[in-house]
Structure 1
Amino acid sequence: MSQIKIDMTVYDSIETKLMAVHPAYRSKDPEIKRLLKFRKKLTKVLFEGIEPSTDPNYFCETCGSHSHLEHPVTAFCFVCNTDNWKREEYADVGQ
Structure 2
Amino acid sequence: MIMNMMLIFIMFFFGNMIFISKHKHLLIILLSLEFIILSIFFLMMIYFSFIMNDMYMLMVFLVFSVCEGALGLSILVSMIRTHGNDYFQSFSLLY
TM bin (shorter chain): 0.3 to 0.5
Which has more radius of gyration? Answer: 2
Relative contact order, higher structure (CA 8 A, sep 6+): 2
Structure with the bigger percentage of helix: 2
